[in-house]
Structure 1
Amino acid sequence: MVRIPAFEVEQWMDKYETTPGVLNISETCASSITLEQLVQFNSQKDAAPLFDLSARMTYGTILGSEELRQNIADTYRDQDEPEAASPVSPEDVIVTQGAISANYLALYSLVGPGDHVVCVFPTYQQLYSVPESLGAEVSLWKLRAEDSYVPDVSQLKTLIKSNTKMLIINNPNNPTGATIPLPVLSQIVSVAKAHDLILFSDEVYRPLFHSSPAPPSVLSLYPKSLATSSLSKAWALAGIRVGWVATRDGALRARLASARDYTTISVSQVDDGVARYALSAPVRPSLLARNVGLARANLELLARFVADHARTCDWVRPTAGTTALVRFRHRESGRPVDDVAFCEDVLRRTRVMLVPASKCFGNGTEFRGCVRVGYVSETEVLREALESLGAYVADNLA
């Protein structure tokens, strides 16, 4: 039997996010929009409808509609080289049921017993637990607060082994909100090239760069790379369950497509249609502008909270994405809180939902006292949650 460890962050979310009256600032998606709202972002007044109701409900195009794959490819041009051709073609894109399926497909297709994988840490648990469950050896490439959670390439070089096959990064990072800047990305690519490694980048929070220059996707930098993403985080459309994996390497793409046959025939035609509408040229810029604007405004609220409670919390300010890692400590002793007990008590007393980092992103001791805050919720939700959390901290962290 395959050993599958508990997926701690997902189990935490499942357990608590339906708490009555919850003020959820643990959610990692930009505040979700309705389909009615989505239509309002279209700059073409005579635009085609959101979905063709006369379309027959067949499986559709197996790897995703041509239009959706083209629109996905175009997203890689917007920030990398807006005036140039996209580094990605529609043929490079395979559509999946969310980024979680894209990540699993990439790992299931390309990693197995006898392989060694290096993965940044902390990150989404799937990225290191799945390779382990498939029989691979995994080395964690640990990010440090003193480096602003930017990976240290000199440390990476010490982790490479003769059987290293894949290097996994997450840019922007979950849970820290850190960005890997282009100079560091270039060094990572150099290491991957030198050892002929597959470079796998979870880019699900791209292109939500709100506080730093936008680095290019790895797809622009290294042919033997693959990137995953979805409509959930930066595009505020988690409910349509559309993601993708893209690679310019034909051999990797063929292996991904072949393995996908065992798990997915196609995504829903309805989901495909909504996704291609959302990522179309008349909609995409204004939808992203809404989410970037929300992230910037809400980040200032969170920054003010951290500054106002500097005796009991600190952070490395995030530069992209939707999440921040905030460390809480007792006022007098400076001792980190028990973040699991802290999150449970905060939820019970204030209805504010947070994610404990030592449980969901560490091993029980790392990131002690840290909680993940998802701050790109509705602004009023965040404001109310931070007011309640501030009162709790003042009364309970002596």
Structure 2
Amino acid sequence: MKKKLILESGEVFHGTGFGADQNTEGEVVFNTGMTGYQELISDPSYCGQIVCMTYPLIGNYGINRDDYESIEPAIKGLIVKELCDLPSNFRTQITLDELFKKKNLSGISGIDTRRLTRLIRNKGVVKGKIVNADEDEQVVVQDLKTTNFPTNQVELVSTKTPYANPGRGFKVVLMDFGSKLGIIRELSARNCDIIVVSQDTTAEEILLMNPDGIMLSNGPGDPEDVPHVHETIRKLLGKVPIFGICLGHQLIGLACGAKTYKLKFGHRGGNHPVLDLAKNKVAITSQNHGYAIDQESLKNTDLVETHIALNDKTNEGIKHKKYPCFSVQYHPEASPGPEDANYLFDEFIELMDRQKVGMTESQKA
């Protein structure tokens, strides 16, 4: 089926559709990962976005049962140069095209993804729509210019009811803003007793669970669109150790008085070098975000910068000067990507351990 991708800026890319035969629109972004398309498709942080893969061959190892990062994808569409119809891997169960048909998702192949990526890098992220080849291009462009996408992405992908992932270690409340399963896997590997709660859970409700630590997950959208979460974090600070990832990182910044801004084309891929300022050590990281914390705004807060991106020198990590609270902009759980930053989960465990020992000693005194 012949399809075309039409951008708000007027550019048109002709190709072949795959997956569901339907139109789809969203924010067009690019990802530089060579592998990990299954994790990417199922990452809730891509809610509302059409993702262009810069690597030219996608689908070559198929889809398997183990690499999902959520049960239901939130992505709007996928753009690839060449789609592999005959994947070769011992874990393969279905093709990428078959997955998209089953999940009612639309994609387009056979377009110049290098040209599209350069366009996004030069002009910034744009709105776009995958449509049938006979659609009127000017009508679609005008529709895109007047279309405002939803600002409640976090609400759309967050769990509606709490659920548990039992363990015998520290009790961790995971605030789900669109959490990847990789975060739960890493906490479970450290035997944490996990309770996953909705994005609108109050600080009072969380503290009633008597957690040893709180994890603020990744998620989609603008961090300023969830002001109720900023207030929740402010009430939790100092009460229990907090670890934030990606959107959780930005929300901690906003809760403490910092500011955020939208990046021109974001960081999405598994090859981003980040410098740990305290250790003077570089980690290659997995990233997926379109917003960042304004470094200048940190000067008037109780936060200190701990990590920076070496590609563009943007903020990648913070910690609180007074309270046991830290966060990173990248994904230490990887899925997909390198596991260089996996040690941060161990640091979270150590932080909870020190807090518990300190509380025990104060009770004895």
Q: Which has the higher contact order (CA 8 A, sep 6+)?
A: 1
Which structure's residues are more often helix, by fraction? 1
Query: What TM-score does the superposition give when structure 2 sets the normalisation length?
Result: 0.31
